[in-house]
Amino acid sequence: MATVGIRGASYCLNHTPELAFHYGNTPSTERHSKPDSEFLANLPKFVQSYDEAVRYAPNLVYIGALGVESLPNKTAPMYKNLEEKGSRSGVYGEIMPEDEFIALMDICDVFDLVWLEESFSVAVKPKMEAHPLLGESQIKRLEAGHALADIEKEVAEHNALPLYFNNVVVACVRKGHDIDENLSAHVLMENLASKVGGVLALMHLIKNSGVEAKDIEYVIECSEEAIGDMNQRGGGNMAKAIAEIADCVNASGCDVRGFCAGPVSAILNAAGLVCSGIHKNVAVVAGGAIPKLYMNAREHVKKAMPALENCMGNFGVLLMPDDGSMPIIRLDAVGKHSVGVGAAPQAITSALVLEPLEKIGLGLKDVDKYAAELHTPEITVPAGAGNVPEANFKMIAALGVMKGQVERADMNQFVKERGMEGYAPTQGHIPSGVPFIGHAIDAINRGEMHRAMIIGKGSLFLGRLTNLADGASFIIEKAGAKASAGASISKNEVKEIILDVLSEITESLDAEAKKD
């Protein structure tokens, strides 16, 4: 059985409500089409503050400050019933405030695209110096700043985009080319923001995994941004740009894209590199997406609730050869959505969940937890999109009923026991299964869980090239786990089983002989 170890995971949030207000797609398009709209006038009244963001239970679960199992016991709506004590940090990462995020954008900028206002730079520098993960190589990249008048001139005369903090212009992002729209200030701002999230996630991943930056051999980046110019839109390489800032001097890398299914596909690509021996330590990282901030804010404002999509989500996962001490990814039971499968939910679920399990002789109940599309329901339900993770788990349970593996009367119990509450930001690629990897490996290491399945699904019609759906899945389990009855096993495993049985028979006969 081919396996790859999972050494660690990281999850970070960047609280960026002002980036959301000015450059999230929903308010941004509204500003162009209906600049005097009631929605835009009311949106600032429903901003979730940083203090509220670090007390919001789904955010705390995402960074590992709370366990997934705590969510069902929380009083709804959780945005009204905040935790008494907030936390910037969790076992997987942090919730970074917007001023530090803007400063980190400058640190990650290598083409003088970001200009900080000088007084803002002075004010934020001590915060960056105090950050436990930022060293001399990063801090020295923070610029002294520019006069506000120079920034305002760049915005007024050269199409730079202003960046705000506390409703004041504190920086700008400049364009990278006079006529290339792929290097416009707006595109570069989105790309830089995603890069920042990837850098933060990678640095936390290195710390969490107990390795050094120089030990990372390869980085795969799987956000939803396209990096390139007019001659090569989407050419990349975001991965190496991230590795450079994180001091991963021995790393190479590449980008993997697949809409919401991208992260699972990226992890499987990384697992292949490790299993083949091409690279030992492979990090998979992704930053968030500015366009999806405040994506459902219009409906939230209508219902007089906080506009909750104010955080960019980021993650990292480190894979290395299985040494028997880490949870593993099984590569003999990978789910995939083939071209011929179609887009029916039942067919997708069968391809991604049932078929890989059947391949190794397992049933639906052999998986302790399923993780698919873990969007926070308090974001999606008011917007009319329903409880997305619950819908996925119900589909798996229904498939179990059809296959005789779950009793119809037990469907709700199956969902309760093997599903989970959603807690991830609606950043497209971020919720699709990967937020649970950190919680899963910790639960497995504590002996509280044996096996989990991570499921990524994507909608390819967004690119206007195909109406196909997409998806991939993999199983995480305890190292050294024995295959279930009926599983396909190797000849060596068969020999081991036979020898074990013969040994038990011999011991039994010896014991009986001694009695006689």
The pLDDT tens digits of the residues spanning 354-393 come to 999 999 999 999 999 999 999 999 999 999 999 999 999 9
Tokens 């640190």 correspond to what residue? 107
Examine residue 83 and state whether it is found in any structural domain, yes or no.
no
pLDDT for 498 equals 37
69 vs 92: CA distance, rounded Å: 16
Task: Report the greatest alpha carbon distance in the chain.
Answer: 101
End-to-end Cα distance, the chain = 44
Closest-CA residue to 148 (of 168, 177, 174): 168
Examine residue 459 and state whether it is found in any structural domain, yes or no.
yes
Examine residue 309 and state whether it is found in any structural domain, yes or no.
no
What is the signed CA dihedral for 459, 462, 465, 471, rounded to 10 degrees?
-20
pLDDT for 343 equals 86
pLDDT for 108 equals 98
pLDDT for 480 equals 79
Count the domains in the chain: 1
Examine residue 165 and state whether it is found in any structural domain, yes or no.
no
pLDDT for 132 equals 97
Angle at 335 between CA 334 and CA 336, to 5 degrees: 120
Which CATH number does the domain housing residue 452 bear?
Answer: 3.40.47
pLDDT for 428 equals 87
Handedness of CA 353, 355, 357, 363 (dihedral sign): positive
Q: Are 94 and 88 in contact (CB under 8 A)?
A: yes
Tell me how long the chain is: 516
Domain containing residue 378: 335-492
3-state SS assignment for residue 477:
strand
Examine residue 47 and state whether it is found in any structural domain, yes or no.
no
Examine residue 209 and state whether it is found in any structural domain, yes or no.
no
pLDDT for 507 equals 52
Q: Are 245 and 107 in contact (CB under 8 A)?
A: yes
Instruction: Spell out the residues 6+ positions from residue 508 whose beta carbon is closer than 8 angstroms to its own.
Output: none
Q: Are strands 451-459 and 369-372 parallel, antiparallel or unpaired?
A: parallel
pLDDT for 487 equals 36
Examine residue 259 and state whether it is found in any structural domain, yes or no.
no
Examine residue 317 and state whether it is found in any structural domain, yes or no.
no
Cis before residue 77, ω within 30 degrees of 0? yes
Q: Which pLDDT tens digit goes with each residue over 201-229?
A: 999 999 999 999 999 999 999 999 999 99
Q: Are 442 and 375 in contact (CB under 8 A)?
A: no
197 vs 199: CA distance, rounded Å: 5
Residue ranges in the chain modelled with pLDDT below 70: 1, 481-516
